Amino acid sequence: MNKNITIIAGPCVIETMDVLETVAQELVRLNQVYGLDIIFKASFDKANRTSIHSYRGPGLEKGLQMLGDVKAKYGLRILTDIHESWQAQPVAEIADVIQIPAFLCRQTDLLVSAAKTGKTVNIKKAQFLSGVDMQYPVQKVRESGNNKVWLTERGNIYGYNNLAVDFRNIADMKNITDTVIMDCTHSVQRPGAMDGKTGGDRTFVPAMALAAKAFGANGFFFETHPDPDKALSDGPNMLYLKDFEPVVKSLID
């Protein structure tokens, strides 16, 4: 088993069981071919969509049931995000990693509730914070009795409707925790740049991954979908599932 890197992958949001299974089957294949342990990611609720009319997901109860079915059938570890403190405990019954969204990474009660589950907590760095600033969210988790904490870089606000990645944040966050993940797909977003939807450019994703590796990232986060152009969330920056293997291979070569 290749334990040198952590890879997280899956569709942005839970759409249908068919989409989840299509992605899960490919992740299982890649795990077998490359000796990996790719963690399956999908959100049961996208609570921070740009527009009130955007698709959010099936909700907590149905979403966790669907993720649980994927876990049971394919043996994949599961990562999903929470937006409210009360969600931490039910999510911990299914998820192996609980993710804190970037916009919420300083929410003390959210961090503490996730920490108290005993699960690994993946905190995404806010678009308005530096890597050094992330010592304080990590401190909240650790002082709540949980040392299993990861940090994820996903770019910083750069003017309006744009993000830029300062890869020095990766090195700074490696001084805080052992596992630092590059969110290779959200970092190419154009927030709110498509008439009430988030835009992006997936062509930059492979380069983002390799640049992050050069700066010391030891984890990589990808949103991938069988047909991103028809996806219900984050389509422009998601990788086509058929294009995912070459990116994975580039990281482990």
What residues have CB less than 8 Å from 14, skipping those under 6 apart? 20, 42, 43, 44, 57, 58, 63, 66, 67
Residue ranges of the chain with pLDDT lower than 70?
1-3, 192-199
The predicted structure's pLDDT at residue 192: 64
Other beta carbons less than 10 A from residue 164's beta carbon: 11
User: Are the C-beta atoms of residues 93 and 130 closer than 8 Å to each other?
Assistant: no
Q: Assess if residue 146 is contained within a domain.
A: yes
Which pLDDT score, from 0 to 100, does residue 197 have?
52
**Would 116 be classed as within a structural domain?**
yes
CATH classification of the domain holding 54: 3.20.20.70
Residue 1 lies in a domain: no
Q: Do the domain assignments include residue 246?
A: yes
Query: Terminus-to-terminus CA distance in the chain, angstroms?
Result: 14
Q: What is the number of domains present in the chain?
A: 1
What pLDDT does 154 receive? 94
Please give the structure tokens belonging to residue 136.
Answer: 């304080």
Helices (H), 75-156: 88-92, 108-115, 135-142
The tens digit of pLDDT for each residue in 148-203 reads 999 999 999 888 888 899 999 999 999 999 999 999 998 887 776 555 556 678 89
Per the structure, the complete domain to which residue 242 belongs is given by: 6-252
Does some domain include residue 40? yes
Q: Is 79 helix (H, G, I), strand (E, B) or coil?
A: strand
pTM reported for the whole predicted model: 0.94
Which residues 6+ apart lie within 8 Å of 184 measured at CB? 205, 206, 208, 209, 212, 220, 221, 222, 247
